[in-house]
Amino acid sequence: MEFLNRHVSVRNFKNVPVEDKLLESILYSGTRASNTGNMQAYSMVVTCREPQRQKLAPLHFNQPVAIHAPVLITFVADFNRFSKWCQFNKAQPGYANFISFFTASIDALLVAQNVCIAAENNGLGICYLGTTTYNAQEIIEVLGLPRLTFPVTTVAMGYPDDLPELTDRLPLKGIVHYEKYQDYSEARIRELYAFKENLEQMQQYVKENNKETLAQVFTEVRYKLEDNEFFSSKMLDTLKMQGFMK
């Protein structure tokens, strides 16, 4: 399982395109992932060219990886295609609702992860762009996504210019529960997060951001309540707009 265990997010790419044939075989491996009822409720939108790249970059907050990666793939929860198939075959589709959105999102995300693993197995590097759901409404417009579709994540892909070091993870026993969820006491939380908090890089984040604790860097700088509330309300509005909130 070495190929899974050595995964790192790559943010610097060589100025080399990904060959069409290779990209196709990677996307094909994506579609071999499990999906719900074999309805394949997803689509992939590949963006390599102008002017689309220039329109997408600001929606990913102009992260350098979004600007410079040779390939961006937007993974879309898609009940539009399946619903059209139903309509053309004397069947009344029943997928304009929240559970169908979530089912299609599961499908799309399993495909995304297969695509990433296939890419890495071919010497490529990847980075997920979590900004996709923040600006789904604008991405829908740029990519021309119809009703009953929703972009759930984006993967930037290319040949790595450098491979960063493995990032830290919490101890496995802090993530896995047997039979029942064991809620976390303060002592247990302190034990689980001690390694992370003591990393030199993390202590530097705290200092650079002028905070007292690492947690404050997350809640006051990186993933703030007011942003989360703003993007929550925006995402729910966009789900309504796309027909998924009935």
Give the footprint of a copy of itself on residues 201-230 (CB under 8 A).
Answer: 212-216, 218-220, 222-229
Q: How far apart are CA 74 and CA 108, in angstroms?
A: 10
Contact status, residue 133 vs residue 105, Cβ threshold 8 Å? no
* Closest to 189 in 3D by CA, of 177, 199, 175, 209: 175
Q: How far apart are CA 140 and CA 3, in angstroms?
A: 34
Does 143 bind a copy of itself (CB under 8 A)? Our answer is: yes
Q: Which of 17, 58, 64, 121 binds a copy of itself (CB under 8 A)?
A: 121
Does 148 bind a copy of itself (CB under 8 A)? Our answer is: no
Q: How far apart are CA 94 and CA 113, in angstroms?
A: 28
* Closest to 168 in 3D by CA, of 139, 144, 198, 191: 198
- The count of chain residues that interact with a copy of itself, using the rule CB under 8 A, is 118
* Closest to 33 in 3D by CA, of 116, 115, 110: 110
Structural tokens at position 9: 């997010």
Residue 45, H or E segment? strand 42-47
Q: Which window, 11-19, 59-67, 137-145, 156-164, contacts a copy of itself (CB under 8 A)?
A: 137-145
Give the footprint of a copy of itself on residues 174-203 (CB under 8 A).
Answer: 174-181, 183-184, 186, 189-190, 192-193
Does 156 bind a copy of itself (CB under 8 A)? Our answer is: no
Q: Which of 11, 13, 69, 105 binds a copy of itself (CB under 8 A)?
A: 105
CB of 177 to a copy of itself, least distance (A): 5
Q: Which of 91, 198, 204, 210 binds a copy of itself (CB under 8 A)?
A: 91
Q: Which of 104, 117, 156, 157 binds a copy of itself (CB under 8 A)?
A: 117
Does 63 bind a copy of itself (CB under 8 A)? Our answer is: no
Eight-class DSSP state of 13: B
**Interface mask toward a copy of itself for 21-40; x: CB under 8 A:** ---xxxxxx-xxxx-xxxxx
Place of tokens 């970059």: 57
